[in-house]
Amino acid sequence: MADLKRSYAQWTMRNNRKLRFRIYRKLQGMLAMNEALSRALERLWYNASDMGRSPDRPAALALQEWLKRDRAGETLSEAMNNWIPSAELYMIRAGEESGQVSNAMIAIMHVGDSAQRMRQAIIQAVSYPIFMLILLAGVFWLFGVNLIENMRKAAPKKVLEAMSGIAGVSDFIMDNGIYLVIFIAGFMFLVAGTMPYWRGFVRTKFDKYPPWAWYRIWQGSSFLLGLSALLKAQVPLKRAVEILEEEATPWLRERLHSAREEILRGRNLGEALRAGGYDFPDPQVALDLEILSERSDVGGVIDVVTKEWIEEQIEVLNIQATIVRTAGLLCVGGVIAWAMLSILQITTILSDMQNSGSNSF
């Protein structure tokens, strides 16, 4: 039971960003006031466990283990291993290397907030087309069930001919809808599942277009914000890129490895990013960094450039989402109008037949 509670607490901590950031915010404040780490963790545990009355809460279990491991001589990053995402863990480790754990926690929260905004913009751009497809499929399915099938049982030949277009689409949805849903879902899972792993020259070409371009933007912004935080914590550029490479996905590791090799050859950050030919994180950003990387406050420069780039990309994503939303509404409206015109045509045919004295029914 204890192992189960611990596993659940670890899962909760890794997936509950607000819970982690609440702990980071308090811990950062205590460390900034030069409070000992052990004492800070102990106070946080009392707070999270409601003065010891609820020790099984995920945050309380996490802090209790961090406190025990700290007292056993381990570093904070070692104590937090498996409790927080790797992207945050390497920043804690970098803060320990530079002696600025407090600043590392500020950087984690800054990176997390920016990455969250980027994710929300991407989700907004992706979710609406999916909703439109489902809505269109539902419209055709309802026409097939409630109108077309009933009309086929007794409608005259002219009526069947009039509704042949919409009937064909509706039949396709009804006969193959489940396979279409499986195909779309499978394709989405395939794309999402391979994004962190697919590498090479062909992938570089795909990274210019959505949804692969969205992944490049998201990972690129996280990389630059993390790099800026490490450089501000006085971590050397080569070591900062190496730390980020250690915790990166295969796709990102390929790009960071190339950049690190170029840095070892004496190139600055912008030159190193451009030399690989990956257009990572963005060709224009790499050009800006090539000029600005010579400054002594390169960490602050990267932070400013990255924030501007993120704002631009979020604006672009929001514009794309608006275009897709408008196109989707026009598409749905067009389909509904087409269906209504078909019904109107059928009504006109039936009215003409009735007026001419037809006994088709």
Asked if residue 176 has pLDDT above 60, the reply is yes
Instruction: Choose between 164 and 3: higher pLDDT.
Output: 3
Q: What span, in angstroms and rounded, lies between the C-alpha atoms of 187 and 93? A: 37
Q: How far apart are the C-alpha atoms of 111 and 109, rounded to whole Å? A: 5
DSSP secondary structure letter of residue 178 = H
Q: Provide the whole-model pTM.
A: 0.71
Task: Give the separation between CA 22 and CA 19, rounded to whole angstroms.
Answer: 5
358: pLDDT confidence band, cut at 50, 70 and 90? very low
Confidence band, pLDDT 50/70/90 cuts, at residue 105 = confident
Distance CA(215)–CA(339), nearest Å, equals: 38
Cα 252 to chain centroid, rounded: 15
- Six token digits for residue 137: 């499929």
Check whether 345 has a pLDDT greater than 80: no
pLDDT greater than 70 at residue 145 = no
* pLDDT for the residue 80: 92
Mean pLDDT of 332-341: 78
Q: What is the C-alpha to C-alpha distance for residues 342 and 164, in angstroms, rounded to an integer?
A: 9
Confidence of residue 357 (pLDDT cuts 50, 70, 90): low
Per-residue pLDDT band for 160 (boundaries 50, 70, 90) equals low
pLDDT of residue 39: 92
Please give the share of the chain, as a percent, with pLDDT higher than 90.
20
**What are 238-270's pLDDT values in tens digits?**
888 888 888 788 999 999 999 999 999 988 888
Angle formed by the axes of helices 250-264 and 237-246, nearest 10°? 160
Per-residue model confidence (pLDDT) at position 360: 43
303 against 102, higher pLDDT: 102
d(CA 316, CA 15): 28
The CA-to-CA distance between both ends of the chain, in Å, stands at: 72
- Write out the two tokens for 340: 């209504």
